[in-house]
Structure 1
Amino acid sequence: MSVMKTLKRSELQVAEQVLKKHLPKSYKVYGYLYSINRGKPTPLEVVVDAWPDFKVIICRPDLTNKHVMDYKLKVTVFSMDVQILRTTLIQENTVDWSLNFLFAGLDASNVPIIKEVSAMKGVNLKTYITVKMLYLPDISHLNSPTVDGELESRTTSLDVSNIDLVNNTWKFGGNEQGYRKINKLISNFPSFCIKDEQGQPVSWILVYDYCAVGILYTVPEHRGKGYAKVLVSALAKRLYSEGYPLFSFIEEDNTVSYKLFKSLGFIEDPSYRAVWLEVNS
């Protein structure tokens, strides 16, 4: 069997362009490559089944990176051929199945293959989360809300003094790993928040390290004021101006966020669902 090839910097740029042709289904891996290719820090390496005509591309933990254990370990896959994906995952050195990690943002149509291979490897698997993906194909689709000057003056970026606040309200945070993750995102990616009269953030939105818009939150006493729409719109404009992809993963049961993004002009490919699977939990 062939060994997976680890992509070098120049090859990562080529791979990014290939994945761009497979949007929206390739968004998760495309977002990682977009991020890596623009010098954002990452404890990942990117491998393919063949080069240059790859059919499977995988972002996996770089176990030689000193920061790799600072975060939850994640493996992200994009596949154009399910049988090659199966062959690739069975290979000895593609994924370290002894680790506790997440298959993150996996195309739901690939789940049966993952389950089959994990059973062969003798590891347990459980569904962590299932999401819909909404994306904005072009900024002209964005239905921006009208923002008055007073609200605009209270809209700004998050900074590192806000890490605890964001981490402690984040569904997947509240711990040391969460703190490091939020620190990394605020320090390296665009973000927006709306502050109250005392200068405290009361609503905010971030960008994940794979470039998806997320971690949108408004403190309960400030809900119903339209802050989320203002933030998503402001962030979308900023990301578009800097060339970022524009997409978001929204949990299946989160109808509030789903309706919000739809109302702003984001669209969904209804044939696509993404799944996070936990291995060896």
Structure 2
Amino acid sequence: MLVLSCSTKLLILEKMLKSYFPESLKVYGAVMNMNRGNPFQKEVVVDSWPDFKAVITRRQKEAETDNLDHYSNAYAVFYKDVRAYQHLLEEHDVINWDQVLQIQDTGLQSELHDVSKAVANSKLLLLQIIQNNLSLSQKKKKQKTKNTILISLLFESVQEEKKGSAPRLTYLSVADADLLNRTWSRGGNEQCLRYITKLISCFPSVCVRDDKGNPISWSLTDQFATMCHGYTLPEHRRKGYSKLVALTLARKLQSRGFPCQGNVLDDNTASISLLKNLRAEFLPCRFHRLILTPAAFS
């Protein structure tokens, strides 16, 4: 096991991971954030360097942690050889098995689930599997002007529909975290509230506010550079806000060199329809989030 702490090596790793899209997408997003200030206090573990066969991103040990916070205690995985990944899991001190944690991957690494489950069972951890559709939108640079025009037209149409009480397109603030926690299907608890607050503080977000400054539609970005928690309050739906927010956040990420990626639940038909309308590419896989809980917390 090696912890890559050299900034030059991390930049090299970022470039190398890009050649393994889409399997490496989650790890790539985490490494990109690390190379741009590392606001979420992540680090990279590899089995060897430079000819690595497995990569795991994890929270730095120095970072403040909560043993019940699987949102922040999150690992992203990419491997070229599943045996190397298994060896990392079995090594001492790579994964903190005393915490509630999650392991993420794109779902294109077919053996990850079985290997992770086997190791978790050997350590008497409870395993919960959450699967989503994974979408990716990699717009080419020549389309940037078209996107800008489309966003402008959408905003103008929304303003016209509101007839004077024009919405304001801005970004989220930490004061909005409680609302996001209450409206997120994954939220509603203290750990998620802290996690959302951290995401808002660290990563790009987009928000539409009403004439009183209250959020009515939004989306933000997580530690793996994934667009998440796209939501519009029920009374403000079917007005074009979700499309405006999604396009604006996607363009913001693209302007910083990030791929635009997101996960969507099977039963979220509105979001699936929106993504198809935006011509997002749905990858031929099921995004996996493995949540592992030690017996002491189950």
Give the TM-score normalised by structure 1: 0.89
Instruction: Report sequence identity in percent.
Output: 36
Once residues 96 and 181 of structure 1 are traced to their aligned partners in structure 2, the CA distance between those partners, rounded to angstroms, is: 19
Once residues 274 and 85 of structure 2 are traced to their aligned partners in structure 1, the CA distance between those partners, rounded to angstroms, is: 35
Once residues 199 and 47 of structure 2 are traced to their aligned partners in structure 1, the CA distance between those partners, rounded to angstroms, is: 30
Once residues 94 and 158 of structure 1 are traced to their aligned partners in structure 2, the CA distance between those partners, rounded to angstroms, is: 34
Q: Which AA in structure 2 matches 1:122? A: L
- Alignment of 1:181 with 2:195, yes or no, is yes
Once residues 68 and 101 of structure 1 are traced to their aligned partners in structure 2, the CA distance between those partners, rounded to angstroms, is: 11
Aligned position for 2:139: 138
- Alignment of 1:273 with 2:274, yes or no, is no
1:158 to 157, 168, 172: 172
SS in 2 for 1:86: helix
Q: Which AA in structure 1 matches 2:139? A: D
Q: Which AA in structure 2 matches 1:117? A: V
Length, aligned pairs only: 275
CA shift at 1:193, angstroms?
1.3
Q: Which AA in structure 1 matches 2:90? A: I
Once residues 8 and 269 of structure 2 are traced to their aligned partners in structure 1, the CA distance between those partners, rounded to angstroms, is: 41
Q: How does 1:33-182 map to 2 (within 5 A)?
A: 33-65=31-63, 67-69=64-66, 71-72=69-70, 73-105=73-105, 107=107, 109=110, 110-127=112-129, 129-139=130-140, 140=143, 144=150, 146-149=153-156, 151=159, 154-182=168-196
Q: Could you give the per-residue CA deviations for residues 221-263 of structure 1, whole angstroms, max 9, x where no partner exists?
A: 1111121011101111121112122110112332221221121
Q: Does structure 1 retain, via aligned residues, the 8 Å contact 2:117–2:127?
A: yes
Q: Does structure 1 retain, via aligned residues, the 8 Å contact 2:101–2:291?
A: yes
CA shift at 1:153, angstroms?
5.6
Q: Does structure 1 retain, via aligned residues, the 8 Å contact 2:3–2:46?
A: yes
CA shift at 1:42, angstroms?
1.8
Unpaired runs of at least 5, structure 2: 160-165
Judging changes above 3 Å, is the alpha-carbon distance between structure 1 residues 43 and 153 closer, same or farther for their aligned structure 2 residues? same
Q: Could you give the per-residue CA deviations for residues 52-85 of structure 1, whole angstroms, max 9, x where no partner exists?
A: 11110001232332x2328431222111112222
Judging changes above 3 Å, is the alpha-carbon distance between structure 1 residues 199 and 12 closer, same or farther for their aligned structure 2 residues? same
CA shift at 1:148, angstroms?
4.3
Give the TM-score normalised by structure 2: 0.84
Unpaired runs of at least 5, structure 1: none
Judging changes above 3 Å, is the alpha-carbon distance between structure 1 residues 198 and 42 closer, same or farther for their aligned structure 2 residues? closer
Judging changes above 3 Å, is the alpha-carbon distance between structure 1 residues 148 and 276 closer, same or farther for their aligned structure 2 residues? closer
